[in-house]
Amino acid sequence: MENRGRSRDRAQEPGFFPAAFRALPEGIRLPENPGVIRLPGDASNRGFYRVSGAGAKSLILMVLADADPHRQPAEEITAGEKPTEEIPFLNIQHYLEKLGLPVPRVVHHDLERGIIYLEDLGDTLLYDLAGPAGPRAERGLYNQTLELLVELQLRAERRPDPDCLAFHRRFDAGLFEWEFQHFREELLSPGLPEAPELTRGFRKLARELAEEPGYFCHRDYHSRNLLVQDGGIKIIDFQDALLALRQYDLASLLFDAYVDFPPDLVEELLEFYLSAWEKAGGKPDGRERFRRMFFLAGVQRGLKAAGRFAYIKRVKDNPKFLPFIPGVLRRVRPSFPLFPELAGLEKILDRELKTNDQIPNPKSKIPNRSQ
């Protein structure tokens, strides 16, 4: 289940942009003398460029990693894929747009050239506002983001579509366990004496997560995949959507790897979400069970993110995410006592991280997955 490493940048090939501009059909107006600016894309295999100039609205040009849509490197590992002629981004975008959810409009796509033109929703991520100021200062936007999550989950529950890839992919026990082990393999010392006990604990928790009812899940619903435009929230980077427990996207937002949420604010926003769910007609939850699975999803998500950040450095030679690892681990560790299976991990982190601000040494080589 290894993700692929760095992909070539096709946009640097001679004549790429003039050919991409010529691919636009008549009726779609391109800015005069268009300028092209590369946009940050975090760890994505895709490239994003703003095409702007006088006389027309700017566009976002998405450049796929491969001009052949059937050879697109996966952004995330998944389970239970359905064969389709559509690439996941377009397939999921069509479904979410049909549900009336705020996603970028597709202006044009030419998969033979491996390009997709999108409407330009601006540059302001929720992270840009909540990261520096703190999430409490943007409480109104977070309330809106949680209400949008409720709408996403309920509309998808009420209007499932067999043509949408997300309904054929699921976060199963094997995938949850693999992500737990991904953390261990990327960040903890090889040959841990506690490895067998830790593996058993991860396996048990993975099964518990997978046994929950499956809802439409964005899979990366956090501050760097939510744009703010004209005071509203827009959803991006949804191509890895699948079915998972309802708490997963909620935990992804409130245990954000990039934003430091105080515990009391997590509790307030958790209650806000549950209230919004019931107001929108969602079936009331058993609070104790819901909370347990929310905190377990937060732990699983946080450990996976920490391992992923180390992996990105090792495989893609991109160190920009390493500074976020200490904060991720600091935020999920208070939840460990809720799960006896993680008692060993608490001791391991105490031993391997002398302070909460240390970053474990990412390995130069992943050990055999049978360990």
Q: At what angle do helices 287-316 and 173-187 cross, to 10 degrees?
A: 50
Nearest to 215 by CA among 185, 182, 248, 183: 248
**CATH number of residue 98's parent domain:** 3.30.200
Q: Are residues 132 and 147 in the same domain?
A: yes
On whether residue 135 sits in a domain, the answer given is yes
Nearest to 116 by CA among 67, 57, 45: 67
| Helical segments of 105-261, H only | 126-133, 139-158, 173-187, 195-210, 247-254
Would the CA dihedral through 371, 196, 192, 175 be positive or negative?
positive
Q: What is the pLDDT of residues 37-57, one digit of tens each?
A: 999 876 677 899 999 988 789
Q: Are residues 254 and 274 in the same domain?
A: yes
Q: Are residues 113 and 175 in the same domain?
A: no
On whether residue 2 sits in a domain, the answer given is no
Q: What is the pLDDT of residues 20-31, one digit of tens each?
A: 999 999 888 888
Q: Which of 89-98, 120-129, 350-359 has the lowest mean pLDDT?
A: 350-359
Cβ atoms 257, 222 nearer than 8 A: yes
Q: Are residues 34 and 152 in the same domain?
A: no
Q: Are residues 104 and 48 in the same domain?
A: yes
Cβ atoms 248, 298 nearer than 8 A: no
User: What is the per-residue pLDDT for 68?
Assistant: 57
pLDDT reading at 357 higher than 60: no
Count of the separate structural domains present in the chain: 2
Q: Are residues 103 and 159 in the same domain?
A: no
Mean pLDDT of 113-131: 95
3-state secondary structure 278-324: HHCCCCCCCHHHHHHHHHHHHHHHHHHHHHHHHHHHHHHCCCCCHHH
3-state secondary structure 266-277: HHHHHHHHHHHH
Q: Are residues 137 and 213 in the same domain?
A: yes
**CATH number of residue 163's parent domain:** 3.90.1200.10
Dist CA 370 CA 219 (whole Å): 27
On whether residue 26 sits in a domain, the answer given is yes
On whether residue 340 sits in a domain, the answer given is yes
Dist CA 167 CA 173 (whole Å): 17
| Neighbouring-strand partners of residue 47 | 63
SS3 229: strand
Q: Are residues 188 and 336 in the same domain?
A: yes
pLDDT reading at 99 higher than 50: yes
Domain that holds residue 308: 126-352
On whether residue 320 sits in a domain, the answer given is yes
On whether residue 361 sits in a domain, the answer given is no
On whether residue 365 sits in a domain, the answer given is no
Q: What is the pTM of this model?
A: 0.90
Share of the chain above pLDDT 90, in %: 71
- CA 248 to mean position of chain CA atoms: 11
Q: Are residues 38 and 175 in the same domain?
A: no
User: What is the per-residue pLDDT for 33?
Assistant: 83
Question: Amino acid identity of 74?
Answer: A
